[in-house]
Structure 1
Amino acid sequence: MVNILLLSHGPFCEGLLASLQMIVGPQKQIYAIQLHPGQSPDDYRDKISDVLAEMVGDTIVFCDIKGGTPYNSAGFLKNKYSFTLITGMNLPMLISVATVRNEKTTVKELTNIALDKMSAGIELINLSLGGERKHAKLSLNKNR
């Protein structure tokens, strides 16, 4: 199974992981490492390196924003470890990836799912009076 590592400024990645597991259930081989306020980039990079060193098999690293310390730390570690790096992580993206990830899915398949525009979860919703009333549907069971 493809490993997943979530990196962010502050507890964002840990919150995403907790929310993901609330929605789709417990997940194996998903880790979150937050950058704490005042933590040095070297110390943060060492923590990421320790986790990557323990991972066996393919890995996708998700970061909150491009150009920040989590992203730069992962980019630096690409010289030592092999993984796919995706920035701009969000909950809809992780739900899409987690619901199809199994022992047979590949990094390429999961990357394509993560980068699909349907995984962005960004949409303008018009809730003005007189607008059409529709309920959003979030179901992991596609037969419903």
Structure 2
Amino acid sequence: MIGIVVIAHGTLAGGLKSAVSLLAGEPEAFSTVELHPGDAPEEFKARVEDAVQSVDSGDGVLVLVDIFGGTPSNTISQLIARGDSNIQAIAGANLPMVIQATFMREQMPLSDLAGQVMQAGQEALVDIGAILAQAAERDDEEEF
């Protein structure tokens, strides 16, 4: 099973895990790391390394971070740069991405899962107002 780690500023990572647990039950091989003010860089890096190791069963680890270029992203980038090819990381974590990763991780290899997760994240971006306006327009047309 591909392990999942969510790393984010503040309590976002824990919130995403809480939401997945609410929707799908407590996920296996799933860890979070939160960055809080005052966290020492080396201690944070050690927590990230521990989280990755704790979920790695040999099939790889998908790491989702909140924003590219921030400390969570930079920290996992350091692990990848040192040659750990068993890790794939994606920035821009949102709930649809985490749900997709959780449900699909036993059905495909890590590289394919990363692509599916990115697609789910992109498709989740919806302008609700535009959808409502289109629906109202269709309703108006059907009345004639």
Band the TM-score falls in, shorter-chain normalisation? 0.7 to 0.9
Alpha-carbon distance, 1:100 to partner = 2.0
Amino acid at match of 1:131: A
Unaligned 5+ runs, structure 2: 140-144
Aligned positions of 1:5-24 closer than 5 A: 5-24=5-24
**Residue 96 in structure 1 maps to residue 95 in structure 2:** no
Decide which structure has the larger Cα Rg and report it: 2
Counterpart Cα distance in 1 of 2:137 and 2:24: 30
1:66-81 → structure 2 map (5 Å cutoff): 66-78=68-80, 79=82, 81=84
RMSD: 2.3
Structure 1 residue ranges (4+ consecutive) displaced by more than 4 angstroms after TM superposition = none
Letter in 2 for 1:112: G
Q: Which has the higher helix share?
A: 2
Whole-angstrom CA distance in 2 between matches of 1:16 and 1:86: 15
Looking at structure 2, the residues matched to 61 and 133 of structure 1 have their Cα atoms a distance apart, in angstroms, of 42
User: Which amino acid is 2:128 matched to?
Assistant: I
Contact 1:2 1:105 in 2 (8 A): no
- Tell me by how many angstroms 1:51 deviates: 2.4
Correspondent of 2:111 among 108, 111, 114: 108
AA in 2 matched with 1:83? I
Deviations 1:22-43 (A, max 9, x none): 1122211010010111112221
- Identify the match of residue 131 of structure 1 among 123, 130, 136: 136
Say if 1:64 and 1:131 are closer, same or farther in 2 by CA, change over 3 A.
Answer: same
Contact 1:4 1:31 in 2 (8 A): yes
User: Tell me, what secondary structure is at the counterpart of 1:86?
Assistant: strand
Mean alpha-carbon deviation: is it higher for 104-113 or for 7-16? 104-113
Percent of aligned pairs sharing the same letter: 27
Q: TM-score, normalised by structure 2?
A: 0.81
